[in-house]
Amino acid sequence: MKIIALNGSPRPIGNTSNILNDVQDMFEREGVEMEIIHLYEYSFVNCNVCMTCEIRGDGRCIDEDDGLNDILDRLRLADGVLMAAPTYMNACPSVMQTFMERAALVFGKGDHGLAGKVGGAIAVCGHDGASLVYNQMVDFMLANRMLVSGSYPMPIIRALNSPAYEDDVQGMKGVRSLVEGMVSALMRLNGYA
């Protein structure tokens, strides 16, 4: 079983990246492989709703040079998707927003390649806006017909500078709850429970 984690932070080293490293350890202790894709490594072209993805019908975006199609192919092969992002101006950072806009259109007009996969979201904020970021990612997954795992408490971490995330005991408890829920769903879907 494999999870693809999308790091929506534009910072190479920060709370979001460090949390995903901890989450990778949590999944691997449960026997689930996790690969992290750092979206900051890509320069995505903005979606202009050209609808070529619908005309082609092959599950690919016409912009072949920015790496988006490669990521979509990797997501299609995964059993689950974990999305994590910090809060920038009370919303997802632009790299995550651009990814979601293009991916949602390609999947929605194409092969619905995420349908039935297990999903989860983690949001990080210094002060405000994490609920909106969390909801943006969950809405993306629901629109793509994914099975979104909940958690209690919510996997929302309040931390400004890394490694301050470690100080948010409730937020990290929510992250552990999310991992447990995703592992449980993966086990059931794959006939292990």
Give average pLDDT by consecutive 10-residue segment, the chain, 193 residues.
97 94 98 98 93 88 94 98 96 96 94 96 94 97 97 96 92 98 96 80
pLDDT of the residue at 30: 97
First to last CA, the chain: 14
pLDDT of the residue at 127: 87
Distance between CA 11 and CA 41 in Å, rounded? 10
Question: Distance of CA 147 to CAs 45, 57, 73, 111, 130, Å?
Answer: 28, 24, 19, 17, 21
For every residue of 91-157, DSSP letters joined together read B--HHHHHHHHHHHHHHHHTT-TTTT-EEEEEEEESSS-HHHHHHHHHHHHHHTT-EE---SS-SEE
Find tokens 């979606």 and name the residue: 47
pLDDT of the residue at 33: 98
> 26: part of which helix (H) or strand (E)?
helix 15-29
Specify the CATH number for the domain of residue 119. Answer: 3.40.50.360
Domains: count for the chain: 1
Domain that holds residue 94: 2-189
pLDDT of the residue at 193: 67
Q: Which residues contact 178 (CB under 8 A, 6 or more apart)?
A: 120, 122, 149, 150, 151, 155
pLDDT of the residue at 128: 87
